[in-house]
Amino acid sequence: MSHLNDMALFVEVARAKSFRKAATVLDMPNSTLSRRISELEKAIGLRLLHRTTRKIELTEAGQLYYERSKRIVDEARLAHEQLGAMLKQPTGVLRVSLPVDFATLYLTPIIVDFAQQYPGITFEFDLTPRRVDLVAEPFDVAIRMGELEDSSLIARLIGRHSRHLYASDSYIEAQGEPTTPAELAEHECICLLRIPTWTLHKGKMTADVSARGRFTLNSMGMIRALAVNHAGIALLPEKIAAEDLAFGRLRHILPEWQGTPVSIYAVTETRLIPAKTQRFIEFLSSKLM
């Protein structure tokens, strides 16, 4: 197996019937090529070429070795060419675990663009809040938000989204608008489960707010909907609130303050991933970073 590269060099020399011409094609020094062929002959234990000052000719063993080697080298070259085409236009089923709300509210048009660019890929999406087992379950990649637990899995940072405070005009008209982070304690804050504190940043200043309200839940989509329906103030990723902000359903509260950015990761079992997965991760990263 260690002599497969030298086999390819020999095939090129046999085709050209010249070390000089083969060296030009291979873009390597003539002396190096000659040495490698000599080492191949020593390893095989047979002379493959008759060398003269004018030309080279194949020996009987060299002719047999050339005929067998040429098929192997040509098959290997074809395989590389086909793999190269696969990298450009990968095919197959891509199985992805996605966060429910982020996928529904933001990722869908990005995924449609990806699907149009790579028509050979079909998709199986599992939208679930649970952390799927990438080792035991047949997923190519999982998209996860927030900081990750230490594990043997491979995590690639593909995005980091800022978070801001939002509320509807009707809520602000009824309850007033806070002017400092401390005043949030007097308002209805729509909170994620198990995250009772909002950490807000303004330049180098940081404020920890005990966010309390009547609604505590585990769905970013429903938090957004509750804010749109005047139920309180929500801390949302900017991308998720962008449409509501543009259409006036929500507005920025304390616009100079923002929450700790949300990190977005593509998680795989191994670094050796197929082209379809690699292209998907690269495409998401180009849109999310």
Q: Using one digit for the tens of pLDDT, what is the confidence trace for 33-62? A: 889 989 998 988 899 998 876 778 899 998
- For residue 226, what pLDDT band results from cuts at 50, 70 and 90? very high
| pLDDT confidence of residue 2 | 57
Domains of the chain: 4-88 (1.10.10.10), 161-262 (3.40.190.290)
Tell me if 141 sits within 8 A of 96, measured CB to CB: yes
Q: What is the pLDDT of residues 229-249, one digit of tens each?
A: 999 999 999 989 999 999 999
Mean pLDDT of the chain: 90
Q: Which segments of 27-59 does DSSP mark as H helices, in order?
A: 30-44
pLDDT of amino acid 178: 96
pLDDT at 253: 96
What beta strand segments (E) does the chain contain? 49-51, 56-58, 92-98, 121-127, 141-145, 154-167, 189-192, 197-202, 205-210, 216-217, 233-237, 251-253, 258-268
The phi-psi region of residue 152 (left if phi > 0; otherwise alpha if psi is between -120 and 50; otherwise beta) is alpha
Structure tokens that stand for 52 in this block: 């003269």
Residue 53 pLDDT? 67
- What is the dihedral sign for C-alpha 144, 146, 150, 156? positive
